[in-house]
Amino acid sequence: MIWIIILVVIILGIIFLYNYLVKLNIRCQNAWSQIDNQLKRRADLIPNLVEVTKGYAKHESEVLTKVSQIRTEGTMSQIAKQSEEVSNSLNNLFALAEGYPDLKANEVFKNLQIELTGTEDKIAFARQFYNDTVQYYNSAIMMFPSNIMAKILKYNEREYFKVADEDKQEVKVEL
């Protein structure tokens, strides 16, 4: 009789660990999806901002072209680097607008700037949420006894969303 109770407890423990790890894995996928959604939102807004700005800053086409051509695809580290490039380019574009009072006063530009600034904040939040989720997941797959179930399920450590040290430079604004 005691062996049956022990067997039931072990089976319930295995089921609990399995469900726990699956839930954490899905949570990580969801957190990554949120980053992806915000990056796509930003990518949709940028061409509109560039088009509005082009009319005012024709001779600044290099900045505008760079902002509109950066894509966020590839590995996580590549996406992090590209995302940081877009953020830096947008900062340069907003600084560029300071030299064009008519552009700054343009309602469409103002609205796009507000939307992009809000999106940048959402991206930062989504990155933080993803990294928190990955930290929780990575801890779970490394701790005993869930590490045994993680190995059986072939769950591996996930990569954090981080920007390389060489990309953490101060943004230089040139007008």
Instruction: Answer whether residue 36 shows pLDDT above 50.
Output: yes
Instruction: Answer whether residue 27 shows pLDDT above 90.
Output: yes
Structure confidence at residue 29 (pLDDT): 95
- Alpha-carbon distance of 154 to 11, in angstroms, equals 20
CA distances from 98 to 53, 91, 92, 95, 174 (A): 12, 11, 10, 5, 11
Percent of the chain with pLDDT over 90: 42
CA distances from 132 to 22, 52, 127, 158 (A): 17, 37, 9, 11
Long-range contacts of 42-47 (CB under 8 A, 24+ apart): 42/86, 42/116, 42/119, 42/120, 42/123, 43/71, 43/72, 45/112, 45/115, 45/116, 45/119, 46/86, 46/90, 46/116
CA 41 to chain centre: 12
47 prior amide bond cis, ω within 30: no
Structure confidence at residue 61 (pLDDT): 60
Whether 112 and 53 have beta carbons less than 8 Å apart is answered as: no
Domains of the chain: 13-167 (1.20.1440.20)
Tokens linked to 125: 């939040």
Instruction: Answer whether residue 174 shows pLDDT above 50.
Output: no
Residue 157: which pLDDT band, with cuts at 50, 70 and 90? very high
Q: What is the pLDDT of residues 97-143, one digit of tens each?
A: 777 777 666 777 778 788 888 888 999 999 999 999 999 999 999 99
Q: To which residue do tokens 């006894």 refer? A: 145
Q: Please tell me the least confidently modeled range out of 47-61, 82-96, 153-167.
A: 47-61
